[in-house]
Amino acid sequence: MSRRHRFARAARRAAPTCVFAVLLAGCASADKNLTVPSSTTASAASSSSSSSSSSSSGMAGMNMGSGSSTGAGSVSVDGVKAVPTQLLGSAAWQGMKITAEATTPLPFVIYNGTSEQMVKAGPGTSFHLMVMLSDAQTGVAIPYASVWATIKRQGKIYYDARQWPMISRYMGPHYGNDVSVPGAGTYQLSLLVSPPVSARHVEYQNVWLHPHQVTLTFHWTPPA
């Protein structure tokens, strides 16, 4: 099954949750706007993005416990501490910066407007994946899109899921989920990003009109 169809099928499967999230998550775009996604391949090492500089060598020693790009080890709000993040890679798409980061596994709450569901990271969870979409020039977050993440190693798929539109005091709006991978290794992370489904100021009228896929390579080492 093609990625495109998998995406659409999964979007339909997610329909009950999309009822409330359709505007925020852009779930409708999966059925309405799908065309064959354009695709680029970037790796953390080859990306020209400034923020990827630490990943080109840093990922070899990826350690969720010590690597920190937030420097927020001492920051705590209501007892909830910022957790260190590790850059997995970044790419650019028509002026949108797509950045994938990982934090230590963490619980999160899915709230649908009337009820909530707590998602706890199980013992097999490797990390919490966060995909940030932002304007490459201004750094302002871009909401209302959808992100589907697929993680492969040597052609085998180990993770394949929609990312929740998510908010966080420290990370701001992002798209994320808890992820399990089978141990240390070099993985390919593919991100299928759908167009933001929203009204747009005219500076954005000609960009991000079709789904777009990027592939990032990262090295994963479980924390000691």
Stretch that binds Cu ion, among 24-32, 113-121, 149-157, 160-168 (CB under 5 A): 160-168
What dihedral angle (degrees, nearest 10) is formed by the CA atoms of 170, 173, 178, 183? -70
Distance (Å, whole) CA 33 – CA 40: 19
Between 43 and 174, CB nearer to Cu ion: 174
| Distance from the Cα of residue 100 to its chain's centroid | 5
Stretch that binds Cu ion, among 3-11, 38-46, 146-154, 174-182 (CB under 5 A): 174-182
Between 67 and 176, CB nearer to Cu ion: 176
Stretch that binds Cu ion, among 42-50, 94-102, 143-151, 175-183 (CB under 5 A): 175-183
3-class secondary-structure state, position 16: helix
Shortest Cβ 189–Cu ion spacing (Å): 15
67 binds Cu ion (CB under 5 A): no
166 binds Cu ion (CB under 5 A): yes
DSSP string, 103-156: ES---EEEE-SS-EEEEPPPTT--EEEEEEEEETTT--B--S--EEEEEEETTE
Give the residue nearest to Cu ion (CB).
176
176 binds Cu ion (CB under 5 A): yes
Restricted to residues 16-45, the positions that interact with Cu ion (CB under 5 A) are none
Contact between 43 and 56 under an 8 Å Cβ cutoff? The reply is no
Contact between 189 and 161 under an 8 Å Cβ cutoff? The reply is no
- Contacting positions for Cu ion (CB under 5 A): 130, 166, 176
